Amino acid sequence: MKKWANIPPFYFYKLHVMKIFLILSIILVASLLLFQLYLLVASYNSETQNYQMVFKGKDFEIRFYPAVAMATINSSAKTYQDLGSSGFGKLANYIFGGNESNLRIAMTSPVHMDINDYTSSMSFVMPAKYVQGNLPKPLNAEVMLETIADEYVAVVGFGGFASEDDIKRNTRKLEKILKTSSIAYYGSFRILGYNPPYQLLGRKNEIIVNVNWGSR
């Protein structure tokens, strides 16, 4: 008893606070991990844009995408970050009920982003059961409904949180591959994002560009 009697009461209070902090930290970390695992599983189970892989190279793919309905917003943004900030919320509002039917539309991956010096754009792919004609009219006039025609595209992928440097590096990579492979391409290089911004694990991004493949 004499051993503990010489210890100030504040010491026990401090020890108690540290234990509580440690327990709360463990609970918080476990909760975040479970949330990230949930997002990872959900990303695998959610609907993705339908395509057929027609060629697989060492570092790239050629895919055929059938016609699909999209909700699109144009922007003057010149960077990936600015386009995400200006366009994502408006498109999300449309699928979360910001339309004349107050209809909630399931999020379908990927999100398409086209960044150039003229008019950039971001597009949400609509679930396969929808066509342009049976989608409800957006309440926001900036959101446009359109049908993207069949297309062949070349694709390279990369993980993690996409940065401007990642996008430029993988765009150059795909361009070099196509030139080396004598595959003609046209149009702008686009970015495909597959994950919500708060998902940390299993992130997936792609760079795509249209190619002349159907006549081969």
Q: What is the pLDDT along the chain (216 residues), one digit of tens a residue?
A: 455 556 666 656 666 677 777 777 777 766 666 654 555 555 555 788 999 999 999 899 999 999 999 999 999 999 988 998 888 999 999 999 999 999 999 989 999 999 988 899 999 999 999 988 899 999 999 999 999 999 999 999 999 989 999 999 999 999 999 999 999 999 999 999 998 777 777 789 999 999 999 766
Residues 6+ apart with CB under 8 A from 122: 72, 73, 75, 83, 84, 87, 88, 91, 111, 112, 113, 114
Cβ neighbours of 27 (radius 10 Å): 10
- Please give the CATH topology (third level) of the domain spanning 52-211: Multidrug-efflux Transporter 1 Regulator Bmrr; Chain A (3.20.80)
CB atoms within 10 A of CB 42: 13
pLDDT recorded at residue 101 = 95
Q: Which pLDDT score is estimated for 44?
A: 56
Q: Can you give the residue ranges of every domain in the chain?
A: 2-45, 52-211
pLDDT at 196: 78
- Give residue 197's pLDDT: 75
**Cβ partners under 8 Å of residue 27, min gap 6:** none
φ, ψ at 17 (rounded to 5°): -65, -40
| pTM of the predicted structure, to 2 decimals | 0.79
Q: What one-letter code names the amino acid at 148? A: I
Alpha-carbon Rg for the chain in angstroms: 24
**CA–CA gap between residue 130 and residue 70 (Å, rounded):** 9
Distance between CA atoms of 81 and 64, rounded to whole angstroms?
28
Find, among 72, 68, 58, 88, the residue nearest to 145 by Cα. Answer: 72
φ, ψ (nearest 5 deg) of residue 164: -60, -40
